[in-house]
């Protein structure tokens, strides 16, 4: 391993003390804010106040049940395609360096993504009600 | 000494800082109960801009608010909800009571209304008015700010030092000790309230009305077609059907109880003229009729109750105990017919008849209402239970022996508001699969306190995720007893109550009511008055549709149209104010004409509106019509077919959006509408977008009518000269003694309307709003029936919403343009 050339990195200094002070200050500040928010002001507890708000009516049944979340699927799909965006953007930065081979590889990658999208589409994964019925999530 | 003074000085500085901060950062929660809320909403739009006073946009949820503005009538059915929302707000909190109803019950001293919200929760500031103008609410807000600054010492509470004051610290008022029950204020204890003389059982000597002569009620000549119908009925049903010899508005048949169902089925499906729509279904309690012996005895001076009782058993049979009234409409021939059926009490004082829910599904709610109000049972009804009054209610309010006034009943207290909770969603719902076995399904209450229900409507949705499996409506939270009130207010005094049956349509409702009375008594209205009535009705249509457009867009997430359309609405309200002196409630129409002539400068004001309105509307409309989100959320959503709409009695733009050009202004013209050139816009899809298109086009047509009315305004009198029925013009009243006498009689005990009945209806912004008035020859109505378009329209909501998602429900309600006072009345 070659030694690092002088001047390539900033010289090391013992900065731990200021970091510690900074950390302590941040922790204290946040703690004080949290404490003040909890402590300041008058609090009155009552049955009505702790009841869930449902347009002024006493809610029926419990809120702990299997709630179908079709949005969950859509959100997951979004996440997957979003992360893949990160690869494509990185490729754009080094577009010249990786050359034609990189271009082919990336095209293949994008085609694969498109195929995946088409598959999801065909399976009804983007359809709200369809997703609700089949996913049983 | 020095040491003790130091902390208290610090605290008082802290007090000032905290109070100042609170004063300018109030977070109001609206609890829009009725009319006042419309003015409250106007307060945060562009002209009044409440944010200037440090009270930002209103909060719909109690969790984010510290100022409760109770605006409007506090009904006994909704009071538990009001109290709960107050309790759910965090500390410190303040309350503004806005408007006469919230302050004291106001003009609604009637069985369903709490006589002041201060009986159930503490109030800081009262804003008087009916409704108060937006400026008055701003004044109330400033008063509250002053109160916070001047009287509260919050720092001891904030720092947990014991003592100190913040928020509302006034006590809840108690009837009898800290609050007077008398609606007229303290000091009237010995004087009976008005109107008791016509209640049965009241021992009063004959009515002054018996000494007043009037011509008889109007009599119509039946047309060929109607006589043909009568012959057809006679042939088919023989003696069981009898055509009433005289009627004032439409052919009326008396039908024996057992045949009612056959007759109605015949009229709907078999007769030559098909009556496809059940216009209305109601009942009349006949027990207080003055031609029965009971009252005759009183009139003749038999004051001994026993003697009257002995007479009564014999001759009272001439009238049934109750009459059920069905009113049908034929779309093809633009005709109506009335079917009446007398009912007698049976064993155990039960009264019943057959349900017609299998002929018209819309009869479901109508029959429930009759059951609720009169106690008449309908055999074969799928779900006969109360609809307007809460389940725990005792008695049937529209029976003649039922006390009308809230002040005659036990006072409504905070304990009642805690105890009398609205029914649980599980009990109301008609969802098949209830409870935990379907572990994905659950109930959600949308309303009564919800921004998008546009009033006190409670939708109980049975949901599977976001999909609506079942939808049930619970109404009656806004039941203001306007039918009962008609039985004690004089004919003229009732006019202000009609405005309040639809607080966005103002004069349009007075229009229906005075039309009914004028039809009954055959009063001729001068042409000028007719034209001004049309002008006002169309101005209110514009104003209503602008509010509808703003709120519909707002429901779908578009805030902007709100601020624009309210600007033009204020312009319209300014014209209305110029002409009538009122904003929401004009109270300007009178029986036989108007309250006053048009003021100077009205042409210019109207002309200004006409010249800018179409262009502005197109501009605002672009915000929506070109918005892809708006289109996605309205096109194809909330569909209803024309067949269904006709069957369920849907009226107004909601019907026209299904493709039928049915508009009373064209089909059964009144008040000179036949003289104006305008079109009836329709759409075919019957979905939310179609309803949107129809209303927008309607606004443009209204502007056309307004322009024509203004151009061709006839000259002449603004009120009839038949002063038997009208309040005379002041200049004429001062000229001769007869007119003076008429004036005196008509403004004190009120005029007498001849015995009879009539239905008056006009096309108000929401559909056909009609009044069925029954007179017993007295100074006030024997019975007033209000046929609100909303009652029929909203009944179709479950059909439109079935299978849609919960977000679409909001879109559907918004597109239907509902308003609660004409549903619950």
Say what the pTM is. 0.87
Averaged pLDDT for residues B327-341: 91
Distance CA B452, CA B457 (A): 10
Q: Are B754 and B564 in contact (CB under 8 A)?
A: no
- Residues B820 and B477: beta-carbon distance below 8 Å: yes
Residue A70 with chain B: CB contacts under 8 Å? 465-466
Please determine, for residue B353, whether its predicted confidence score (pLDDT) is greater than 80.
Answer: yes
Q: Which two tokens stand for residue B124?
A: 């800081």
Whether B786 shows a pLDDT value over 70: the answer reads yes
Averaged pLDDT score across all residues of chain B: 86
Calculate mean pLDDT across residues B109-121.
Answer: 90
Contact (Cβ atoms closer than 8 angstroms) between residue B100 and residue B107? yes
Per the listing, tokens 């983007």 go with: A126
Contact B440 A60 (CB under 8 A): no
Across the interface, of B159, B447, B465, the residue whose CB is closest to A70 is B465
pLDDT, greater one: B306 or B102 = B102
- In this prediction, residue A77 carries a pLDDT of 86
Query: What's B211's DSSP letter?
Result: G
Mean local confidence (pLDDT), B381-410: 87
Q: Does B478 touch chain A (CB under 8 A)?
A: no
Q: Please report the domains of chain B, with CATH numbers, ordered by start residue.
A: 2-158 (3.40.50.12280), 222-404 (3.30.460.80), 413-474 (no CATH), 482-794 (1.10.645.10)
Q: What is the per-residue pLDDT across B150-195, written as a single tens digit (0 to 9) for each?
A: 988 888 888 888 888 888 878 888 887 778 777 677 777 777 766 5
* Identity of the highest mean pLDDT range in A25-39, B217-231, B621-635: A25-39
Name chain B contacts of A57, Cβ cutoff 8 Å: 81, 422, 425, 445, 448, 458
Best residue of A43, A57, A137 to probe chain B, by most B CBs closer than 10 Å: A57
Task: Flag whether A10 is in a domain.
Answer: no
Confidence of residue A137 (pLDDT cuts 50, 70, 90): very low
Among A116-120, A122-126, B694-698, the least confident range: A122-126
**Which of B492 and A137 is assigned the larger pLDDT?**
B492
Residues of B within 8 A of A41 (CB-CB) are 91, 157-158
Question: Quick one: closest CA in B to A36, which residue?
Answer: B159
B331 touches chain A (CB under 8 A): no
Q: Give kind and range of the element (H or E) at residue B583.
A: none
- Facing A132 at nearest CB: one of B157, B166, B465: B465
Q: Do A68 and B465 touch (CB under 8 A)?
A: yes
Contact A57 B448 (CB under 8 A): yes
Residue A70 lies in a domain: yes
Give pLDDT, residue A136: 47
CB-CB contact of B277 with B248 (8 Å): no
CB burial string B372-397: b at 16+ within 10 A, e below? bbbbbbbeebeebebbbbbeebeebb
The pLDDT of residue B403 is: 81
Beta strands B28-32; B67-71: pairing state: parallel
For the ranges A48-62, B447-461, B601-615, the maximum mean pLDDT occurs at: B601-615
Most confident of A28-32, B183-187, B545-549: A28-32
Query: Using a CB-CB distance cutoff of 8 angstroms, which residues of chain B are in contact with residue A45?
Result: none
- Determine contact, residues B219/B250, Cβ cutoff 8 Å: no
Q: What's the pLDDT tens digit per position in B455-469?
A: 888 998 888 878 888
Strand positions, DSSP E, B7-139: 28-32, 67-71, 94-98, 125-127
CA B222 vs. chain centroid, Å, equals 33
Please state, for a pLDDT cut of 70, what percent of chain B lies above it. Answer: 93
For residue A54, being part of any structural domain is answered with yes
The answer as to whether A108 is a domain residue is yes
Residues 104-163 of B with CB under 8 A from A: 157-160
Collapsed DSSP state (helix, strand, coil) of residue B794: helix
| pLDDT for the residue B589 | 92
Q: A42, B426: Cβ pair inside 8 Å?
A: no
The pLDDT assigned to B237 comes to 86
Q: Which residue's entry shows tokens 């990786």?
A: A98
A4 domain residue, yes or no: no
Is A2 within a domain? no
Whether A6 is covered by a domain: the verdict is no
Report the phi/psi class of residue B346: left, alpha or beta, with left for phi > 0 and alpha for psi in -120 to 50: beta
Instruction: Write the pLDDT tens digit of every residue in B674-704.
Output: 999 999 999 988 899 999 999 999 999 999 9
Measure the CA–CA gap between B434 and B440, rounded to whole angstroms: 11
Nearest by CB: A66 against B88, B92, B440? B440
Is pLDDT larger for residue A136 or for residue B770? B770
CA distance A61 to chain B (A): 7
- Give ipTM to 2 decimals: 0.74
B465-481 residue pLDDT tens: 788 888 889 999 999 99
β-strand B277-285 against B322-330: which pairing, if any? Answer: antiparallel
Distance CA B216, CA B775 (A): 11
Averaged over B516-541, what is the pLDDT?
93
The fraction of chain A above a pLDDT of 70, given in percent, is 82
State the total domains in chain A. Answer: 1
Report yes or no on A74 lying in a domain.
Answer: yes
What's the pLDDT band for B626 if we cut at 50, 70, 90?
A: confident
| Helix (H) or strand (E) run with residue B273 in it | none
How many helices and strands, by DSSP H and E, does chain B display? 30, 19
> How confident is residue B313, by pLDDT bands cut at 50, 70 and 90?
very low
pLDDT for residue B31 is more than 60: yes
State the best of B78, B84, B449 to mutate against chain A, taking most chain A CBs within 10 Å.
Answer: B84
Do A61 and B92 lie within an 8 Å CB cutoff? no
- DSSP symbol at B421: P
Binned at pLDDT 50, 70 and 90, residue B306 comes out as low
Contact B536, B544 (CB under 8 A): no
Reduced to 3 states, what is the DSSP secondary structure of residue B179? strand
Residues contacting residue B336 through CB under 8 Å, at least 6 positions apart: B249, B250, B279, B327, B328, B329, B330, B759
What mean pLDDT comes out for the span B192-212? 61
Nearest to B168 by CA among B192, B179, B152, B156: B152
Angle between helices A70-93 and A128-135 in degrees, nearest 10? 110
B17-33: average pLDDT: 88
> Tokens in use for B251?
């052919």
Q: Helix %, strand %, coil % for chain A, to 5?
A: 65, 0, 35
Question: How many Cβ atoms are within 10 Å of B176's Cβ, its own excluded?
Answer: 9
Asked whether the beta carbons of B541 and B525 are under 8 A apart, the reply is no
Residue B90: φ, ψ to 5°: -75, 165
Check A67 against B160: CB less than 8 A apart.
no
CB B562 within 8 A of CB B43: no
Q: How far is A95 from chain B (nearest CA, A)?
A: 37
| CATH value at residue A57 | 1.20.58.1610
Give B 36-95 residues with CB within 8 A of chain A.
61-63, 81-82, 84-85, 87-88, 90-92
Of B84, B90, B447, the CB nearest to A48: B84
Query: What is the per-residue burial (b if ≥16 Cβ within 10 Å, else e) of B776-785?
Result: bbbbbbbbbb
Confidence of residue A6 (pLDDT cuts 50, 70, 90): low
Inter-chain Cβ pairs, chain A and chain B, closer than 8 A:
87
| Secondary structure letter of residue B650 according to DSSP | -
In Å, how far from its chain's centre is CA B224? 37
B142 compared with B776, residue with greater pLDDT: B142
Cα–Cα distance, B529 to B722 (Å, whole number): 14
CB nearest B63 (choices: A44, A53, A65) = A53
Q: Model confidence at B438, in pLDDT bands (50, 70, 90)?
A: low
Structural domain range at position A22: 16-135
Model pLDDT, residue B302: 47
pLDDT digits (tens, 9 = 90+) for B657-680: 999 999 999 999 999 899 999 999
| B633 interface with A at CB cutoff 8 Å | no
Tokens for B562? 């709100």
Question: Residue written as tokens 């549903």?
Answer: B823
**Side-chain half-sphere of B539: how many Cα atoms within 13 Å?**
32
Instruction: Please tell me the least confidently modeled range out of B75-79, B120-124, B420-424.
Output: B420-424
List all residues 6 or more positions away from B73 whose beta carbon is below 8 Å from its beta carbon.
Answer: B33, B34, B101, B102, B105, B106, B108, B113, B478, B480
Closest-CA distance, B806 to chain A, in angstroms, reads: 12
Choose the weakest-confidence range: B112-126, B191-205, B525-539, B707-721: B191-205
Question: By mean pLDDT, which of B310-319, B358-367, B582-591, B647-656 is the weakest?
Answer: B310-319
Are residues A56 and B81, on separate chains, in Cβ contact within 8 Å?
Answer: yes
C-beta of residue B506 within 8 angstroms of C-beta of residue B575? no
* Cβ B657 vs Cβ B691: under 8 Å: yes
């Amino acid at each position: 391993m070659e030694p690092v050339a002088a001047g390539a990195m900033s010289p090391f200094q013992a900065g731990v003390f200021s970091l510690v002070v900074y950390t302590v200050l941040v922790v204290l500040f946040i703690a004080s804010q949290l404490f003040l928010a909890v402590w300041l002001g008058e609090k009155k507890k009552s049955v009505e106040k702790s009841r869930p708000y449902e347009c002024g009516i006493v809610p029926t049944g419990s809120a702990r049940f299997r709630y179908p979340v079709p949005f969950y699927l859509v959100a997951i799909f979004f996440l997957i395609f979003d992360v893949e965006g990160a690869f494509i953007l990185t490729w754009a930065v080094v577009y010249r360096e990786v050359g034609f081979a990189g271009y082919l590889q990336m095209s293949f990658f994008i085609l694969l993504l498109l195929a995946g999208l088409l598959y999801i589409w065909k399976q009804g994964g983007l359809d709200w009600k369809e997703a609700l019925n089949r996913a049983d999530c | 000494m020095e040491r003790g003074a130091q902390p208290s000085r610090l605290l008082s500085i802290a007090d000032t800082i905290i109070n100042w901060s609170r004063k300018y950062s109030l977070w109001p929660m609206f609890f829009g109960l009725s009319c006042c809320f419309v003015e409250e909403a106007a307060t945060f739009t562009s002209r009044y801009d409440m944010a200037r006073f440090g009270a930002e946009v209103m909060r719909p949820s109690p969790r984010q608010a510290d100022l409760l503005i109770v605006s409007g009538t506090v009904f006994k059915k909704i009071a538990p909800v009001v109290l709960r929302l107050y309790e759910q707000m965090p500390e410190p909190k303040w309350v503004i009571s806005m408007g006469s109803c919230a302050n004291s019950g106001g003009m609604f001293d009637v069985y369903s209304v709490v006589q002041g919200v201060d009986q159930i929760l503490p109030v800081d500031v009262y804003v008087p008015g009916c409704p108060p103008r937006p400026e008055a609410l701003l004044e109330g807000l400033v008063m509250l700010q002053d109160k916070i600054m001047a009287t509260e010492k919050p720092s001891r509470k904030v720092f947990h030092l014991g003592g100190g004051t913040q928020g509302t610290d006034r006590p809840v008022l108690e009837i009898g000790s800290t609050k007077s029950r008398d609606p007229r204020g303290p000091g009237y204890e010995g004087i009976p309230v008005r109107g008791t003389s016509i209640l049965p059982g009241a021992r009063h000597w004959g009515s002054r009305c018996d000494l007043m002569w009037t011509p008889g009620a109007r009599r119509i000549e039946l047309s060929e077609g109607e006589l043909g119908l009568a012959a057809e009925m006679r042939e088919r049903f023989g003696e069981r059907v009898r055509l009433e010899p005289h009627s004032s508005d439409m052919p009326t048949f008396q039908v024996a109880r057992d045949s009612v169902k056959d007759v109605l089925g015949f009229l709907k499906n078999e007769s030559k003229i098909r009556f496809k729509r059940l216009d209305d279904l109601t009942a009349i309690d006949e027990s207080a009729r003055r031609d029965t012996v009971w009252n005759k005895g009183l009139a003749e001076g038999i004051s001994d109750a026993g003697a009257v009782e002995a007479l009564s058993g014999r001759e009272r049979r001439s009238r049934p105990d109750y009459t059920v009234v069905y009113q049908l409409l034929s779309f093809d021939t633009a005709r109506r017919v009335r079917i009446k059926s007398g009912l007698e009490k049976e064993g155990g004082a039960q009264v019943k008849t057959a349900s017609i829910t299998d002929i018209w599904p819309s009869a479901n709610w109508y029959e429930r209402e009759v059951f609720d109000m009169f106690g008449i049972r309908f055999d074969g009804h799928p779900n006969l239970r109360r609809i307007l009054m809460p389940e725990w209610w005792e008695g049937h309010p529209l029976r003649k022996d039922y006390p009308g006034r809230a002040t005659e009943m036990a006072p409504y207290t905070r304990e009642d508001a805690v105890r009398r909770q609205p029914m649980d969603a599980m009990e109301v719902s008609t969802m098949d699969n209830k409870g935990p076995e379907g572990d994905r399904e659950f109930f959600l209450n949308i309303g009564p306190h919800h921004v998008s229900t546009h009033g006190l409507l409670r939708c109980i949705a049975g949901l599977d995720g976001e999909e609506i499996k079942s939808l049930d409506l619970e109404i009656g939270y806004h039941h203001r007893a306007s039918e009962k009130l008609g039985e004690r207010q004089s004919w003229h005094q009732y006019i202000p109550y009609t405005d309040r049956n639809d607080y966005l349509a103002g004069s349009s409702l007075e229009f229906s009511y005075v039309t009914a009375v004028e039809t009954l008594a055959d009063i001729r209205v001068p042409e000028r008055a007719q034209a001004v009535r049309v002008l006002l009705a169309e101005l209110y249509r514009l104003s209503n549709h602008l509010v509808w457009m703003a709120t519909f867009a707002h429901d779908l997430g578009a805030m902007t149209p709100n601020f624009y359309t309210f600007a033009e609405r204020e312009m319209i309200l300014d014209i209305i104010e110029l002409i009538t002196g009122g904003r929401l409630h004009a109270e300007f129409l009178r029986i036989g004409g108007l309250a006053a002539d048009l003021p100077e400068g009205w042409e210019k004001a109207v002309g200004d509106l006409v010249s800018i309105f179409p262009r502005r509307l197109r501009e605002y409309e672009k915000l929506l019509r070109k918005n892809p989100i708006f289109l996605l959320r309205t096109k194809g959503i909330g569909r209803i077919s024309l067949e269904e709409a006709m069957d369920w009695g849907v009226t107004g733009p909601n019907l026209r959006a299904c493709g039928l050009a049915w508009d009373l202004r064209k089909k059964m013209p009144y008040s000179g509408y036949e003289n104006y050139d305008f079109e009836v816009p329709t759409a075919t899809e019957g979905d939310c977008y179609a309803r949107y298109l129809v209303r927008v086009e309607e606004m443009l047509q209204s502007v056309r009518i307004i322009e024509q009315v203004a151009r061709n305004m006839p000259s002449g009198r603004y009120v009839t000269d038949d002063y038997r029925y009208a309040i005379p013009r002041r200049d004429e009243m001062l000229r001769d003694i007869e007119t003076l006498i008429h004036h005196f009689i008509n403004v004190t005990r009120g005029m007498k309307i001849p015995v009879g009945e009539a239905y008056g209806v006009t096309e108000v912004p929401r559909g056909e709003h009609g009044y069925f008035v029954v007179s017993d020859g007295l100074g006030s109505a024997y019975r007033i029936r209000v046929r609100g378009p909303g009652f029929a329209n909203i009944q179709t909501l479950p059909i439109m919403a079935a299978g849609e998602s919960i977000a679409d429900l909001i879109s559907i309600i918004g597109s239907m343009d509902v308003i609660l006072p004409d549903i619950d009345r």
